[in-house]
Structure 1
Amino acid sequence: MSRAVRYHRFGGPEVLELQEIPEPHPAPDEVRVRITAAGLNPMDWQIAAQPDMAARFGITLPAGFGSDFAGVVDEVGAEAVGFATGDRVYGGAIGRSVADFVLVRTPTTTLFPTPEGIGDEVAATLPVAGLTASAALAATGLRAGDTVLVGGAAGGVGIFAVQLAVRAGARVLGTASEGTFGFLRGLGAEPVAYGPGLADRVRAVAPEGITAATDLFGRETAETALELGVAPERISVVADGPAPPPGVRKVGAFDAASGALERIADAVRSGDITVPIAATFPVERIRDAVTTQAGRHVHGKIVIAL
């Protein structure tokens, strides 16, 4: 037998259960990954809570939980290609990552070799957040010399968006609570408190104006950018929120350019991008982990250890 987090009805963290299930084995064209770490994302608990969002990803009850993982290939089907037993890997499997094992069909674009120098906890945080950040910035047409406003800059996607924008040569203003200001400065952003009056605070920090914006939480940042005169085509919002203002592009991880994740992993390996781990929870405390992440006050990523 093996373990997997599953839920039989939609709802909050209380619906998540760590269950024993039959140990899976790969089909001829699959590999099995023994998962050691799973990174959580807002989309994970949103899928578990919202039937319409689950349907968009083809998930029906009963369902597994989580999207991002890292671990080691421990079984290889006779016809599987690209991986061998013992390979360290990371990747994505929507609705299946918080489990002892995941099966991945090959050839695949969702499983990658883990670069030397990157631990499994960090590797497990990269796919959804890294790709979403890359797509969100690309949708704004970000370029060197821009002044970009990043909404939700201290969150799991925000930490990647801030650092990617800084690496691209942009000046980065990041919205956050005052308690995260020091944290954001350490990533290269100039923090601005979110909430009523955001436009005035942005004007005070950047009187010459902003040229692009990406909203990683809600719509306040996108609406503020429009108020400040940013063209709608230079503003993006993430796909798991409400509808964006007219002309503003809505993006998600699937919109990232080919090779984006490998480039992010290389930047992490070289030290050009850091990945703050806000907390690591054992899988037995999955409900506590999701409650913590859903509170939207963590600085960085939440990881489940298996």
Structure 2
Amino acid sequence: MAKPTTNKTIRIGTRDSELALWQAHTVQKQLQDLGYKTEIIAVKSDGDIILDKPLYELGITGIFTKTLDVAMITGKVDIAVHSMKDVPTALPQGIVQAAVLERANTLDILVHKGNLDFLENSGTIATGSLRRQAMWLNKYPNHTVVDLRGNVNTRMQKLQDNDWNGAVFAAAGLERINLKPDSFINLDWMIPAPAQGAMVVVAMAEDFYTIEALSQLNHVETEICTYIERQFLRTLEGGCTAPIGALANYNEKEDVLEFSGVLLSIDGKQKLEITKKAEVSEWKKLGYHCAQEILNNGGSKLMSEIKTQLKK
């Protein structure tokens, strides 16, 4: 690999939560191992500051990425590192996806307090995600779901401080900062958020030096699978927040792509699902075609109901 030919320092923008900083340091180390100079610049996002409202009530997608987008556009930082599932499917003008790192665990997990009897009866589960809420209520209609906001450390503390039976987290986030407790169960029946477990690095479209540097961090299989999932999301939702799950995998043994997607009503009572196997050559349109199938089988009506509910 050719060594960098300039003294430019790549300024890495990140949120200041423990997980976000872990992600930024991971990218920093990989760039430094390739010989690039870097600096980390942490900023606080509105999503971290406004904790008393559910995310969908804040009325904008990308609340965790917006502050960093502004920092990039105004020249304060060169790149931003995100949990890919937090990134809107349409990036702001002038900003491009420069690298998707190899994916970690895609599963959601239930962190509980040692007693799982409530799964057979009534219980209270916490999550700030409409998708997790809808999927939980679909499986456990007798349960109550309460809103849970904040970074992973804050959410873990809130779980301890309240009388809830458990809370749902992305396994990858807890594993990355060694916060995953012994008292958890894998929710392998819950289809994850599109791009869950993946990290994305974005850069300015005109910054060819930085884009070339980041291209060396890109993991093609993860890039393709997350592209399919995000295309499914984008085709279904058209910019609104909705309970949507998607997971694409490359099955090496059969040399095919496997896809699972789901759209639910907010109360979890309606559930539209699709699973598909496709040739690897079909990856560019796989998410779109799966979303169209959902839309044609009742998804269009359900999406308009969701949009109406979220406007109230």
What is the TM-score of this pair, normalised by structure 2? Answer: 0.28
Q: Which structure: greater helix fraction?
A: 2
